[in-house]
Structure formats: structure tokens, C-alpha cells
């Protein structure tokens, strides 16, 4: 047996700068998925600095994160006041009275080897009364019924055609992960960083000085310092790619309100004059916020819009956040890796913030430096994947804005007319021409996600894949109506979302009250 000292000398020292969701997700993930005899993990956070508490709504990938860490779902839901999320309801994004759901579930199923949307588009173009694509998704039917149960394990059943995510209190989640990670070997230092020192030769960050005078040395730094991007944006001065031309919203006002019934198993995003408001139901409260563009709306007006939108009494005064859409040119520079808000920001419209942290964790695990120096071949790959993740999410977000019919509202007139990324133009044209939708191997979003937003925003196909014609039209009509019936019948008898929570991860009365206070 080696002594503790030699073990420590042979370990790569990883220093995570900043607590919050990003810091503690990275700390928890690295402590569970890296060998403890090779890595020494330290996290520095300051009680003086608040956390942004990135989004309270997630994507289904969060379940993979929790599962890989071995986190018990019920314990996690109880500790974070979590509810179930089956998708996002978009209200007023095309015409002011429209609503549609972007579900975490499939639209229909492939027939004769051809994706469902082609059959739907064909029937529609043939003049059949087939309704909306929304009518062919089981997850959407669950949303409308405010119902939920765990997906069926039988892949042939319509009740297996969805996945789910959570709404949770991100502050409580960070605390939950801290309580999980610290006993597993993450050293937590409370303190404020006042100086960042670089090696004169390599330019790498060598150590940090804290206000207390303590000096923290490291071989590899994970910058989870939020918008300030202390190391990667600050010390190393990695350039910023500004996406405000495509995503002009740059402010958010956030406020919690009392929980109301029914407990919706989805997030709601409602388009407003100068942006949109979110509504995120938790067990103990409802999270609300107004994301807006300061070019088109003052803070007072935003305040009034937000407060008027609440469906329960406000629990506090709204809090203002400032941001800009974009990302760093590189997330990994030298021996520093920016994660979360330190690496980029995309508005929470599609709940991608926590997903992007998780993607960074899993990419890093593959490419993690080992003792003996930082290998630029590994950081090159990380940065390549980082670009793919951010750029693909960006295109999807822009789609929600550019395809709107909110004429006469300056923000919406602007985003309808703005020049688009070529990559997005191409996707729009492909869908309009032949109902083809993106189907990536890497990154977000899936084909079903694109389909929901295309249709929801009024982007409709004028054609479809000719291979779909192999199904005779009368057969198609029968199959479509049978599918609608299967969905209707499947949803009947599924317990309500609130009932599900009561038996699966409900926070106890006292803790919920304590949190709400």
C-alpha cells in the first residue's frame, strides 16, 4: 500500500471554480466516474456570490446523468421539490392565440420504413381531415390530460413512446449534489478568489489565491464561475461569439409564485410583446420569469407584464438577470475548461442550460487529462463537440422566433425579417419542400422536436417522401384513425400528475414549507 502522501502526489489536481448547478454537477460527475486514486477534486465556492440557478426545467437527458451517478429518483425528487416534465407548451408563438406542445415523445411511428411525418403530410395534402401532428403523439395527450406514469417497458406499446424530464429547484439540486459529492471525496473550500496566477512559460493557470490568503494549486481547472467566466473569459481572454443578432433577448425577470392546481406535467412558454414568459410548476411553488429584449422593453414594463401573467400570488419581488446570447470561441483553453454560463448562454426557451453542462461532463470524461501534461489533441476534440452542441441548439431556438405571425410587434417584426444562419435556412427549405426533418447523430434536437416546432410555428410541408406512397391511401387513412384511437385509449386511466408525485418523490410537508419560506 502506498501512503496517502504519495497517492496525493500522483493524483491530477482538478480545481472546480464555482458552486451552483454547473460546479456541483461537474464535481458530482467527476467524483463518481473518475478513479479516486488518480484524481484529486477540489471545489471553491463563495457564499458571498449568488448563483444564477440556471433554469428549473430540464431535458430527459438529466435522468441519464442521475442514473450514471446512481442517484435514486425518489430521493432526488423529494430533495429538489421536483415534478415531471413531458414537454413545453408554447402559447402565442405563431398567431397570438395558437398553442402547441413540444413533447418528449414520438410523433406516430414509421410505416413501410418511412418516418411518420411523411404519411401525415401526404394525407393532409391529399385533402384528408387528419388534424394536427399534435394529435399523433401520446406524450402530448398525457400533457393535455395532466396525467403521468412511468413509460412502459414494452417497446411495442404506445405507452413506451415517450421519455420525461423534471422541473426542479436548481438551487436545491446544487445542494443535493453537494451533499452527495462531498462524502465521495470532493474537497469543498469556501472562499473568494482574488488572484489567478499563470505559469510564465506555458501560460497555464497554476494556482489561485483566496481572500483568506489560502493558495490553491491545480493541474486542471474547471471554470464554473457563471457569467463572469473568471478563468476562460477573464484570465485567458478567450473571445466571445456574439449571437444577439439572432437571439435579441438580453434580460430576464424571475419571480416565484404559489402553487396552483392542476399540477401541469409541462413547462409553459408564452410569447409576449418583447419576449416570452416561462411558467415552471414545482411541488412547493411555481417558477415564473419574463425573458425580454431591453431594446424593445423597459424594466418597469417587463415587471408589469410578468406580475400580470402570474396565476398565483407572488412570493417575492422579481429579480433581474442580464445576459447576452452567444458562446466562447473555445470552452477549453490551455488547462482551463469553461462549463455552464462561463462557456456560453442560450436563453432557457428549450431548457438546454443543464443539458449543456451535462454534455460537457460526458465529453470531458472521455477526454479528461491524465498526469503528465495537457494534451491539445484532447482539447481540440472537446471544442469541436462544444461548437456542435451550441450551434445546433442555437438554430433550434432561432426557429421559434423567426417563424411567427405576430405582426406589428417590433421585436417579432425584427426576428421575422432578420437574416438567418445558412444551416437553419437549409433545414426550413428541406421541411417545406419534402417534410424532411433533421436527424442528427450528434447533439440536440431530435427529429420529433423539430417537427413539433415546425408545425407549431406554421411551417408546413408542400411535399413528402415518395416512398410513403407504398402505403395505399385508404390503408393510411385507417391507420391514422386507429393511431389516434390508440392514443386516446392509452391515456384513459393514467393517474394524474399530482397523484403520481404524491406516491413518487413527494417532499414532506415540513421540508416543502421550509423551502418555500
Partner 1 sequence: MTPPVHHLVIAGRDAPLWLVAATMARALAPSGLRVTAVELPSRVTPADLHASLPALEALHNQLRLDERRLLSMVGGAYTLGWNFTDTGGAVPPFLHPFGAFGSPIAGQDFFPHWLRARRQGLALPLEDFSLTAVAARQGRLFIPDSESERYGRSDYGYHLPALAYAGVLKDLARQAGVAILSTGSLSPLRDAQTGLITALSLEGGGRVEGDFFLDVTGPDALLIGGPGNGMERWGFPATRVLTARGPRLVSLPPYAEVRGFADGWLSLRPAQAGTFITAVWKAGPGEADLLRRLPSLCGCVPQEAIVRSSSPGLRARAWDGNCVALGAAAVRLDPLHDLDLLSVQQGLVHLLTHFPRTGRFAAARAEYNRLTRGHFTHLRDFQALHYHLARHPGSFWDAARAMPLSGDLFHRIALFRARGDLAPWEEDDLPADSWRAFMEGHGLLPDSHSPGIDLLPPDDLKAHLRAMLGFVKAQVQRQPAHDAYLRGG
Nearest approach in angstroms of CB 386 to partner 1 is: 13
Residue at grid coordinates 454560463: 341
**Is residue 421 part of the contact set for partner 1 (CB under 8 A)?**
no
Q: Between 122 and 268, whose beta carbon lies closer to partner 1?
A: 122
**Is residue 413 part of the contact set for partner 1 (CB under 8 A)?**
no
**Is residue 440 part of the contact set for partner 1 (CB under 8 A)?**
yes
Task: Please identify which residue in 197, 407, 470, 502 interacts with partner 1, judged by CB under 8 A.
Answer: 470
DSSP 264: -
Angle subtended at Cα 430 by Cα 425 and Cα 435, rounded to the nearest 5 degrees: 135
**Is residue 466 part of the contact set for partner 1 (CB under 8 A)?**
yes
Nearest approach in angstroms of CB 440 to partner 1 is: 7
DSSP 416: H
Positions marked active-site: 85
Q: Give the total of residues touching partner 1 (CB under 8 A).
A: 33
The three three-digit cell numbers of residue 97, written as one number: 392565440
3-state SS string for 170-237: HHHHHHHHHHHHHHHCCEEEECCEEEEEECCCCCCEEEEEECCCCEEECCEEEECCHHHCHHHHHHCC
Task: Please answer whether residues 306 and 255 qualify as being in contact, where contact means their C-beta atoms are separated by less than 8 angstroms.
Answer: yes
The three three-digit cell numbers of residue 299, written as one number: 424594466
Stretch that binds partner 1, among 35-43, 127-135, 188-196, 506-514 (CB under 8 A): 35-43
**Is residue 211 part of the contact set for partner 1 (CB under 8 A)?**
no
**Is residue 35 part of the contact set for partner 1 (CB under 8 A)?**
yes
* Strand 251-257 with 286-292, pairing: antiparallel
CA distance linking residue 158 with residue 145, whole number of Å:
16
**Is residue 378 part of the contact set for partner 1 (CB under 8 A)?**
yes
CA distance linking residue 139 with residue 281, whole number of Å:
18
Q: Which 5-34 residues touch partner 1, going by CB under 8 A?
A: 33-34
Number of residues assigned to the chain: 517
CA distance linking residue 481 with residue 108, whole number of Å:
11
**Is residue 384 part of the contact set for partner 1 (CB under 8 A)?**
yes
**Is residue 475 part of the contact set for partner 1 (CB under 8 A)?**
no
Task: Please identify which residue in 73, 109, 381, 413 interacts with partner 1, judged by CB under 8 A.
Answer: 381
Q: Between 49 and 125, whose beta carbon lies closer to partner 1?
A: 125
Q: Between 9 and 442, whose beta carbon lies closer to partner 1?
A: 442
The three three-digit cell numbers of residue 313, written as one number: 400570488
Nearest approach in angstroms of CB 38 to partner 1 is: 6
Task: Please identify which residue in 199, 433, 475, 489 interacts with partner 1, judged by CB under 8 A.
Answer: 433
Task: Please identify which residue in 11, 13, 188, 432 interacts with partner 1, judged by CB under 8 A.
Answer: 432
The three three-digit cell numbers of residue 171, written as one number: 438551487
* Strand 12-17 with 187-190, pairing: unpaired
Contacts with partner 1, residue ranges (CB under 8 A): 33-35, 38-39, 365-368, 370, 375, 377-378, 380-381, 384, 426, 429-430, 432-434, 436, 440-442, 462-463, 465-467, 469-470
Amino acid at each position: 500500500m502506498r501512503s496517502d502522501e504519495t497517492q496525493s502526489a500522483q493524483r491530477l489536481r482538478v480545481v472546480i471554480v464555482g458552486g451552483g448547478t454547473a460546479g456541483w454537477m461537474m464535481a458530482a460527475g467527476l467524483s463518481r466516474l473518475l478513479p479516486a486514486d488518480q484524481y484529486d477534486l477540489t471545489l471553491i465556492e463563495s457564499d458571498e456570490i449568488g448563483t444564477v440557478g440556471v433554469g428549473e426545467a430540464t431535458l430527459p437527458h438529466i435522468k441519464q446523468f442521475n442514473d450514471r451517478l446512481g442517484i435514486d429518483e425518489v430521493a432526488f425528487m423529494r430533495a429538489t421539490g421536483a415534478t415531471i416534465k413531458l414537454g413545453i407548451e408554447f402559447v402565442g408563438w405563431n398567431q397570438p392565440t395558437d398553442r402547441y406542445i413540444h413533447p418528449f415523445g414520438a410523433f406516430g411511428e414509421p410505416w413501410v420504413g418511412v418516418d411518420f411525418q411523411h404519411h401525415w403530410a401526404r394525407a393532409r395534402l391529399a385533402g384528408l381531415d387528419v388534424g394536427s401532428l399534435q394529435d399523433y403523439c401520446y406524450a402530448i395527450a398525457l400533457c393535455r390530460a395532466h396525467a403521468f406514469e412511468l413509460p412502459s417497458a414494452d417497446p411495442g406499446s404506445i405507452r413506451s413512446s415517450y421519455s420525461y424530464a423534471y422541473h426542479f429547484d436548481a438551487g436545491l439540486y446544487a445542494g443535493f449534489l453537494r451533499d452527495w459529492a462531498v462524502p465521495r471525496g470532493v474537497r469543498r473550500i469556501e472562499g473568494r478568489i482574488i488572484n489567478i496566477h499563470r505559469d510564465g512559460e506555458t501560460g497555464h493557470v497554476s494556482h489561485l489565491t483566496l481572500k483568506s490568503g489560502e493558495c490553491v494549486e491545480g493541474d486542471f481547472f474547471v471554470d464554473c464561475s457563471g457569467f463572469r467566466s473568471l478563468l476562460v473569459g477573464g484570465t485567458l481572454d478567450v473571445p466571445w461569439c456574439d449571437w444577439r443578432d439572432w437571439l435579441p433577448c438580453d434580460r430576464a425577470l424571475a419571480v416565484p409564485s404559489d402553487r396552483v392546481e392542476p399540477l401541469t406535467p409541462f413547462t409553459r412558454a408564452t410569447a409576449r410583446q418583447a419576449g416570452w414568459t416561462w411558467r415552471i410548476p414545482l411541488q412547493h411553488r411555481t417558477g415564473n420569469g419574463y425573458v425580454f429584449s431591453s431594446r424593445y422593453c423597459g424594466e418597469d414594463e417587463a415587471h408589469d407584464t410578468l406580475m400580470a401573467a402570474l396565476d398565483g400570488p407572488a412570493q417575492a419581488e422579481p429579480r433581474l438577470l442580464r445576459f447576452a446570447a452567444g458562446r466562447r470561441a473555445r470552452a477549453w483553453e490551455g488547462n482551463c475548461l469553461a462549463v455552464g454560463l462561463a462557456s456560453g448562454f442560450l436563453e432557457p426557451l428549450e431548457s438546454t442550460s443543464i443539458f449543456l453542462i451535462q454534455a460537457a461532463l460526458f465529453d470531458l470524461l472521455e477526454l479528461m487529462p491524465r498526469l503528465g501534461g495537457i494534451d491539445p489533441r484532447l482539447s481540440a476534440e472537446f471544442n469541436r463537440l462544444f461548437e456542435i452542441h451550441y450551434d445546433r441548439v442555437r438554430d433550434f431556438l432561432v426557429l421559434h422566433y423567426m417563424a411567427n405571425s405576430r405582426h406589428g410587434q417590433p421585436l417579432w417584426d425584427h426576428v421575422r425579417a432578420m437574416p438567418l444562419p445558412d444551416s437553419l435556412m437549409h433545414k426550413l427549405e428541406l421541411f417545406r419542400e419534402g417534410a424532411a426533418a433533421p436527424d442528427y447523430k450528434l447533439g440536440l434536437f431530435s427529429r420529433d422536436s423539430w417537427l413539433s416546432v415546425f408545425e407549431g410555428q406554421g411551417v408546413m410541408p408542400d411535399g413528402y417522401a415518395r416512398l410513403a406512397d407504398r402505403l395505399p391511401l385508404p390503408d393510411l387513412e385507417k391507420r391514422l384513425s386507429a393511431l389516434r384511437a390508440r392514443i386516446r385509449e392509452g391515456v384513459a386511466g393514467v393517474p394524474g400528475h399530482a397523484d403520481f408525485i404524491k406516491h413518487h418523490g413527494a417532499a414532506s410537508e415540513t421540508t416543502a414549507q421550509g423551502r418555500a419560506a
